[in-house]
Chains A and B, each alone.
Chain A
Amino acid sequence: MQVRLFALSTCPYCRMTKRFLDDASVQYEMLEVDKLEDEAKNSAIAEVKEISGGASFPVVVIGEEVIVGFNKKRIKELLQL
């Protein structure tokens, strides 16, 4: 299942999410939105708003599911960890 992580470099919960996924050896694609250049940043923000309804981080996309925040339980369920 495809896993994507939208994160901010400054956000503690994003770091926790990243650590959790790394520790569980999950393959995922990460986008550090605040580190992107202007146009890429705006389009990433637009995408986060569209899929999550806000601009709060982290946003974890697992298949069709969108999880806002570091919700360990939900990630475990969806990835059957």
Chain B
Amino acid sequence: MSPASVRRRFPAGTGVDQLREYMAPFALRLGYRFNDDEDFVNEVLASEIEILEETGDVYCPCRVRTGDPKEDVKIVCPCIPFYADQFAKLRKCWCGLFIRTDVTDGSELHGVIEVPEGPAEVPVALAEEFPPGTLRTIRVGKREITLARVDGEFFALGNVCRHAFGPLGQGFMDGYMAVCPWHGWRYDVRDGTTDHPDADVRTYETFVREGYVFVTV
């Protein structure tokens, strides 16, 4: 890659400690923290620094960059949103740099395991950072989902408005109704229904545990 095409997110000379400090709050909001194995964390981050020096960004050292920016963006560390459903079941990210905040013994997760079958309970946001009466789009693996809060309750539903495919999660709330920002179609966040025939969106189960909002996919 020519130097001119490098888009630097971190300045040259960025070190392991700076990366750690930078990434930790983003991982925490997705329900993850650094692995307890300090040596392992340092080894992974040292590999990421090598990649950073070459490319200007930190990519997962266990996956290959293809040169296609649309693909490669999915392995920028932390890559958790793009694989949130798989990682939620593994209880760690692919390379194990990050483990779920609710894991007590990270050492048992060493090595890479097959992703178990079945639904995934995915931490998607800190409840205290999600004000009542608001909504936003979240990414859970390949899905985009609208997450909405009404008083103390959270709701999750399909993110694409069935009218003109507007991004529902970028709209606004009116009581229990999520209003599409483009043309104002309204969806009841409790069951995904709208006034328009055959245009309901699907909903997902949500719950709050240890301060995190979870979506089951």
Contact = CB atoms under 8 A, between A and B. Distances in A.
Nearest to A16: B111
A41 to B, nearest CB: 8
Contact of B111 (A13, A14, A33, A48): A13
A8 B111 contact: no
Interface residues of A, number: 19
Contacts of B47: 10-12
B113 A69 contact: yes
Contacts, number: 55
A71 B66 contact: no
Classify the interface of chain B: helix, strand, loop or mixed. loop
B63 A71 contact: no
Interface of B: 40, 43-44, 47-48, 50-51, 61-66, 94-96, 111-114
B112 A8 contact: no
A55 B111 contact: no
Contact of A69 (B44, B51, B64, B112): B112
Given A55-B64, A56-B63, A57-B64, A10 B50 contact: yes
Q: Which 7 A-B residue pairs are closest in the complex by CB-CB distance?
A: A69-B112, A10-B61, A10-B47, A11-B62, A70-B111, A12-B43, A11-B61
A44 B47 CA distance: 21
B40 A12 contact: yes
B111 A69 contact: yes
Given A8-B62, A12-B62, A56 B94 contact: yes
A72 interface: yes
